[in-house]
Amino acid sequence: MPRSNRPRRTTSRQRSTGAPVQNRSWDLGTDGSWRHHGVSTLQEFSDGAWHVRVIPSYGALKDYVCPGCSQRIAPGVSHVVAWRADGARSNAQQEADRRHWHQRCWNHHAGRA
């Protein structure tokens, strides 16, 4: 008798109603925008503290120029957004200071800093 490819049980990620289980411990918002913008972390280097956000490839929607190599970051390429974490600047100034880096260029910068 041929093998059936249909699952015999419901998966552990589904309730009896068929709805997916929310298993994240933090609030990510209901609009799902966190998926496109990544999650920020604070990283300490010798040149100061930086907010760092990894942007996944499906969230990279525009062209940017990497300050590490002065080359283009094309849409659809995963990259890093970084900005200084000094408390003296307003949120608008910090937003204007955000720079988009290739992952490798950021790692090189982080190693030097």
Q: Which domain holds residue 102?
A: 35-112
Burial class (CB in 10 A: 0-12, 13-18, 19+), 64: buried
With a CB cutoff of 8 Å and minimum separation 6, the contacts of 98 are: 81, 82, 83
Is residue 25 included in any domain, yes or no? no
Q: pLDDT (tens digit, 9 = 90+) per residue, 44-102?
A: 888 888 889 999 998 889 999 999 999 999 999 999 999 988 766 666 777 788 999 99
Is residue 74 included in any domain, yes or no? yes
97 within 8 A of 82, measured Cβ to Cβ: no
The token duo for 71 is 């080359």
Is residue 87 included in any domain, yes or no? yes
The token duo for 62 is 């525009």
Q: pLDDT (tens digit, 9 = 90+) per residue, 10-57?
A: 655 554 554 444 444 344 444 444 455 567 888 888 888 888 999 999
Is residue 81 included in any domain, yes or no? yes
The total of structural domains in the chain comes to: 1
49 within 8 A of 85, measured Cβ to Cβ: yes
Taking the CB of residue 88, how many other CB atoms lie within 10 A of it? 7
Q: What is the pTM of this model?
A: 0.62
Taking the CB of residue 94, how many other CB atoms lie within 10 A of it? 16
